[in-house]
Each structure stands twice: as C-alpha cells, then as structure tokens.
Amino acid sequence: MAIEDYKQDDEHSNSCQINDHESKLNYPFSIPEKYQKQLIGDGIYWFRVPLPFKLDHINLYLIEDGDGWCLIDTGMGTNYSKQYWQDVEHNILDNKPINKIVITHTHPDHVGLASWLQKKHDCPILISQREYDMMAYLFSISGSSPPKYYLDYLLRAGMSPEFTDKVKEERDDGFDKAVDGLPRRCQFIRHEDVIELGDHRFEIIIGSGHSPAHASLYCKELGLLFSGDQVIPEIPSMVTLYPKNPKFKDHRKQNPLGRWLNALNGLKQLPSDTLVLPAHSKPFIGLHKRVDEIIENHCKLLNKLLAALTQPRTVSQTLMPIYKRKVKDNIYVMFISELLAHIQFLEQLTLVKREETETVDLFSTIKSVDLCKEINKFLSVNTKS
C-alpha cells in the first residue's frame, strides 16, 4: 500500500510516524502471493493474512520446527480470518502442525487467533507476562460500561459532556469480538531470554510504549529481527496514553512515548544491516536509518505541539492544530490518547506545564528548545547500554 493511502486514512494517519519523503530502505523480498509463503532464509518464511480495515494485512512468519512449524503472531480473531486459515493450513503449512506460537503483543491483529489455533494444534503460546495480563484484563472489561475514571479522563482532556455521554452509552471495547479467547497454556518470555525456535536461537527484546511489554526476537546467527510493531517501515506505530485503573497507577505519571523511544533507540545496538521482519509493510534492511527517521518525525510533531501550546489548551483543543482536519468520532478518543502521550512526554521534559482546573487539564509551553537535541539528551541518559 502506498504511503499516500495511509495519509488519506484517518485510522492510520499518525502525523508523527508517516514520512514526508520516501524512505530509502532496502526491501529485498517481493510480497508473497495470496495463500503462498515467501522464503526468507534457512527455514524461515513470510506470508500475509488479510485485515478488515485500511491497513489490510498483517505479516506472519513461520520457522521450520522439526515435523511442524513455529508461528510468529496469528492474525485477527474474525470469522473471515478463520476461513482464510483453512486455506493457509493446506497451502502454506503443507498440512503440518503448528508446534508453538510466539505472540509479540496483544493487539487483536497479532493475538486474535492464538487461542483458536492453540486448540486446533495443541501447542503452547509464548508471550510476555505483562502482555498476557493485559489481554486477560481486556477480556474482563470487554463489553462493559466504561468506568468512572475513564469518563473523567475524557472530560479532563476537554471532551464535551455530550460526547462523553455518547461514549458512555455506545462504547464497547469489543476485544472479545476481535480475539477468539484467552490462551490457557502459556510460556512466559522475558527480556534477554534466549529461546530455541527450530534450528535457531533467538534473544527476546522487550520494549514498552506501543504495548505493555512488546517482544521482538533477534537471531544473531541469521542477522534478522522479528520486530512486530516495534519498528515498521513507512506506516505508523501509534503510542497512546489511556488511563489505567488508578488503584494501580495514575496515568498522569506515565510516559509511554519516552519508554517507546528508549526501546526503539535500543534496537540500534543491533547491526545496521539486520534484516527486519515487521508485522506490516515489507521486510527491510536499514534498521538504524528507520529508527533515526522515526525519532526525527517525533521531533517534528513535538515541535508542532510546543508551538500549538503557546496559549493554554486542552488536549482536545490541540487536535486541529496538529492533525489539520476533522477527526471521525469513532477514532477521536484514539487521537486524543496519542496526543496526550506526546504532551505528557513534553511535560516530563519540563517543557510544558499542566494546570488542573476544576473541570479540565490545560497545557501550555514553558520554553521552546531544539527538540532533536533534547530527545538525544533524553535517550543518552535513559537508553540502557
């Protein structure tokens, strides 16, 4: 899909991620045909499963594993995906079993069919503990009325009481509609664990921000990285800030963008010619270049935010200056949560201050700086060597 298509699509028009110029990455493989797999190297294959929105595919990967396969991610838990998988099993799996499934993170397009496939193949699921816990939590609240702390979050972001009432009446997370059950037999993976998949050893690299504990898998021997959504070419990886139950942590003290930038920058410790196998778009070579592009694009967005906040504004009042268009109701909250993640990052850098009025939070710029230098300073202090 062309970059222009994403720019025109509200659901994936993340202004801090899409480049304003064509990225000069090396794409060594052509896109596999429908119901076909593409050999990546030494028993590792790439294929695609459709998704029911503008971002119309997810990349899934297979590793030859004895008499069967190890699968990286699963696709969405919809009836269409299940029907598609019937042909996948015959044409792509060659009717061989799945011996294990690795889940990078618990977004529905990645984990949606994990339980369904586990039941069919009687195989374990490898996932980080925090991602599993998040999945269990989302199942527990799916379809329920939003809690008071969530509605308060929307009001303090500047949403009208009328809009918030509408969310209260109509909101349905629908997690259980896109994820076919909670897997029951899991092996929990941790940062720096080394696991064997087929004939190869992979180091687990955990990074948070896009999700609680996203797992990427690096094979030094093959020089390749299964990156999931942690780093993707051309298209956005959204970093959002939704409220957590205040019993556990006040969302105002969180910094998901800072954590994600740290994790992203940490991937530059891998060789620059690493073959990156992302969950969307195409496998590419140019890891360091792509990480630098993403950080540069964040600098641009954060500079726009500093300019937009020269006068005190709520998060909601900042949408138009940043996104330059009317945002659809069904994704309004998502964009609010993305902006708040960026504003709160600036707040923690002491570049923006928050005024808590009786009804809303107002944000305003304290000082303007060279944000590229400021972010580089932040990363040099916080990224683990």
Q: What whole-number distance in Å separates Cα of residue 35 and Cα of residue 257?
A: 37
Distance of CA 315 to the CA centre of its chain: 22
Tell me, what's the pLDDT at 330?
A: 66
Give 200-212 pLDDT, tens digit per residue: 999 999 999 999 9
Q: What are phi and psi for residue 8, nearest 5 degrees?
A: -90, 0
Is residue 7 classed as helix, strand or coil in its secondary structure?
A: helix
Asked if the model's pLDDT at residue 18 lies above 50, the reply is no
Tokens in use for 103?
């889940």
Q: Three-class SS string for 207-249?
A: ECCCCCCEEEEEECCCCEEEEECCCCCCCCCCCCCCCCCCCCC
What is the domain class of 20-286 according to CATH?
Answer: alpha beta
Give 355-381 pLDDT, tens digit per residue: 999 999 999 999 888 888 899 899 988
Q: Would strands 194-197 and 186-189 be described as parallel, antiparallel, or unpaired?
A: unpaired
Domain boundaries, the chain: 20-286
Tallying the residues shown for the chain, one arrives at 385
> For the chain, how are helix, strand and coil distributed in percent, rounded to 5?
40, 20, 40
Alpha carbon separation from 218 to 52, 68, 118, 276 (Å, rounded): 29, 21, 24, 9
Confidence of residue 332 (pLDDT cuts 50, 70, 90): confident
Give 101-112 pLDDT, tens digit per residue: 999 999 999 999
Distance of CA 238 to the CA centre of its chain: 6
Alpha carbon separation from 209 to 55, 133, 231, 285, 325 (Å, rounded): 21, 16, 12, 23, 26
175-179, 185-189, 328-332 — which is least confidently predicted?
328-332
Is residue 167 classed as helix, strand or coil in its secondary structure?
A: helix
Cβ neighbors of 135 (< 8 A, separation 6 or more) are 106, 111, 179, 182
Tokens in use for 359?
């009804």
Q: In what order do the strands lie in the sheet with 57-65?
A: 38-41, 44-50, 57-65, 68-72, 98-102, 125-128, 186-189
